Amino acid sequence: MSSIEKFESELFAANIIDPDGVHSVFTSGLHGQKINFKQIPDGSELFDLWVTTTATYIDENYPEAEVPELFVASVDSGTNRLVGPVAEELGCRASAHLTKKVRDGEIVLVPDAVDAIRVYSPDLVLFLDDAGTTGLTVSTGVIHARAVGARRTAVLYAIQRSGTLPSLNDINADYSAMIKREMPAYTAVECAQAYFCAAGWDLRKRQEGA
């Protein structure tokens, strides 16, 4: 079993996905069963597997980015805790950079990250995100990185749960995912007419800061 297959298998065995009978509102407004990456405890075996699988994927897929020219950037609270350990795992060719939320669905690089892009002009600013449904939030980070002079940007997901991510397609962003698994998500209207809401499933609203 490859490292990615092991990560996928443990992720889906970890009881962090909305169980049948429960679904959530995503940042995009879509309704679906959420994979709650925030419930993966720091320092757990699954968290460490997320880190090492990500670093291995980056080494294999972005081998050309040289010392110290690879920036791994977070998507706010979703992956702020991930980028440091991933950069450490990648060694001295990578450094970790944070983003913060401006409002729901919009992030910016923190001032230190903006300064670092201007000073070091890295080969690649790679945003690490957890689950991709539309790509809305991370697309605003990519736009910000480009605006402050990033020469190349890309997004790497732990899991891409839609066949295509419209917000990233709209800005011609480069994105990939370690795991691709389609999991249905619907607009609130569709959901109420024919899917989870129509079936009476509990709906978890978005929490402040989530």
Binding of residue 26 to Zn ion (CB under 5 A): no
Q: How far is the CB of 26 from Zn ion (least distance, A)?
A: 11
- Taking the least distance from each CB to Zn ion, the nearer of 31 and 144 is 31
Q: Residue 85: is the preceding peptide bond cis (ω within 30°)? A: no
Sheet containing strand 124-132, edge to edge, reads 94-97, 70-73, 124-132, 153-160, 175-180
The correct pick among 7, 26, 37, 196 for binding Zn ion (CB under 5 A) is: 196
* Cα dihedral 45, 95, 89, 49 in deg (nearest 10): 30
Amino acid at 159: I
Nearest to Zn ion of 94, 191 (CB atom): 191
**Alpha carbons 45 and 7: distance in angstroms, whole number:** 10
The burial class, CB within 10 Å (0-12 / 13-18 / 19+), for 5 is: exposed
Selected binder of Zn ion within 24, 26, 31, 40 (CB under 5 A):
31
Q: 136 or 191, CB closer to Zn ion?
A: 191
Tell me how far, at minimum, the Cβ of 23 lies from Zn ion, in Å: 5
Least distance CB 203 / Zn ion (angstroms): 5
Q: Which of 86, 90, 124, 191 binds Zn ion (CB under 5 A)?
A: 191
For position 30 contacting Zn ion by CB under 5 A, the verdict is no
Minimum CB–partner distance for residue 85 and Zn ion (Å): 34
Residues lying near Zn ion in the complex (CB under 5 A): 31, 191, 196-197
